[in-house]
Amino acid sequence: MSVLDAGAALPRRRPDILPALTPLAVALVAAPFIGSPSTFVTLTAAGLAMGMMIFTMASGLTLVFGMMDVLNFGHGAFIALGAYAATLVLLPLASWSSADSLPLNLAAFVLAVVVAALVCGVFGWVFERLIVKPVYGQHLKQILATIGGSIIAEQLLYAVFGPAQIPLNVPKTFEGSFVIGQAAIEKYRLVATCVGLLVFAAEMLILNRTRIGLLIRAGVENREMVEALGYRVDRLFVAVFMAGSALAGLGGAMMALYRGQVHATIGGEFLVLCFIVIIIGGLGSVGGSFVASILVALIANYAGFLVPKLALVSNILAMVAVLLWRPRGLYPVSGR
């Protein structure tokens, strides 16, 4: 047994499941305090949906950071742009989304979020070329340049769409809620959760099971080596940046629908949340940001119910607690 077998595969790295269990632990701790099971189910479902939407936005940010070592302060602008792009699709299609038919509703919804993602992907390309490209490798300038980019982008959004809030309704089929026992779960939250899970599954599949994913992961670990092997890492960079922006747009569109209105301030608001999430998750880690999103959203929801005053700083407290436990986040990425 103890004799080394040269032919045996390397021992598999033991998966680190402890951080992944934190949302569960939080739910278990909070449950007795909340008392009523129906309230608990409602709060948890709402937290999961919110977490999935935050994850969609945050995973884009963490991907870009992990791959390109760029902390994109312009990410918020893409969240807002996605919301506006979805509005542009849904307003003309009002007849589809207000019709009492699932296929039409679904078509309008899918079209809206896909267009939001595509538009943000294209603008992400522009943003990368104009704003980020000249300052690769210089953190200070990157932060400043992307902030400048986000100021410009936000002002352009105001110039084009006006400073007023635009109301936005979810398609009719997704309105209202299911009632299970005494717990009410909004339908749209289920939709949001499904979309978030799909995004997570797709990202995991692409990153872990495809050649592109292999190259991206390799690039995260050691960029020079991948370049030395003859791959155009800079092109991969652009692709990842576009994907990150598209994810921001997708998340922004979902969030705008959830809130029922669109305004450019949505960008800054969720950018802060995205930062907290990717810090908690470990900078650059998609799985980490998935866990962290759920964790943050659940804590915010439970705290909002139990101690409303604390809810406002619950994110920060969660971040401090996690960093005291694991200073580099739940799932630290090596080399960062």
Partner 1 sequence: MNLRAMNLLSGDPPRGRALQAILILVILALAAAPFLFPGAKALNAAAKTCVMILLAASYDLLLGYAGIVSFAHVMFFGVGAYGVGLALYGLGAGWGALGVGLAAAAALSLALALAIGLFSLRVQSIFFAMVTLAVAYAFNVLASQLSWLTGGEDGRSFKVPDVLQPGFRLVEGKVFGVAINGKILTYYLLLVVVAAAFLVLLRVVNSPFGRVLQAIRENPFRAEALGYRTVVHRTLATCISALGATLAGALSALWLRYVGPDTALSFSIQVDVLVMVVVGGMGSLYGAILGAALFVFAESYLQDAMGALSQVAADARLPLLPALFHPDRWLLWLGLAFVLAVYFAPSGIVGALKGSEAKAN
In the complex, minimum distance from the CB of residue 26 to partner 1, in angstroms, rounded to a whole number: 19
Give the C-alpha distances (Å, rounded to integers) separating 271 from 25, 72, 151: 26, 10, 13
CB of 42 to partner 1, least distance (A): 23
Q: Contacting partner 1 (CB under 8 A), which of 28, 205, 272, 307?
A: 272
Question: For the chain, how long is the longest CA-to-CA vector?
Answer: 72
- In angstroms, give the least distance from the CB of 275 to partner 1: 4
Closest CB 141 distance from partner 1, rounded Å: 6
141/232 with CB nearer partner 1: 141
Q: Tokens at residue 269, please?
A: 């608001």
For residue 2, the minimal CB distance to partner 1 (Å) is: 41
Residues near partner 1 (CB under 8 A), total: 38
Amino acid in position 263? H
State which of positions 116-155 bind partner 1 (CB under 8 A).
131, 134-135, 139-141, 143-145, 147-149, 151-152, 155
Q: Which helix (H) or strand (E) holds 186?
A: strand 183-186
Which residues is 178 bridged to in the sheet? 185
Hey, which residues between 275 and 314 contact partner 1 (CB under 8 A)?
A: 275-276, 279, 283, 309, 312-313
Nearest by Cα to 294 from 63, 17, 21 = 21
Coil, strand, or helix at residue 138? coil
CA-to-CA dists, residue 196 to 54, 81, 251, 252, 296, angstroms: 9, 19, 9, 12, 15
Phi, psi at 290, each rounded to 5°: -65, -50
The C-alpha angle with vertex 244 and arms to 242 and 247, in degrees rounded to 5, equals: 110
Subset of residues 308 to 327 that bind partner 1, contact rule: CB under 8 A: 309, 312-313, 315-316, 319-320, 323, 327
Q: Which residues bind partner 1 (CB under 8 A)?
A: 71, 131, 134-135, 139-141, 143-145, 147-149, 151-152, 155-156, 158-160, 163, 268, 271-272, 275-276, 279, 283, 309, 312-313, 315-316, 319-320, 323, 327-328
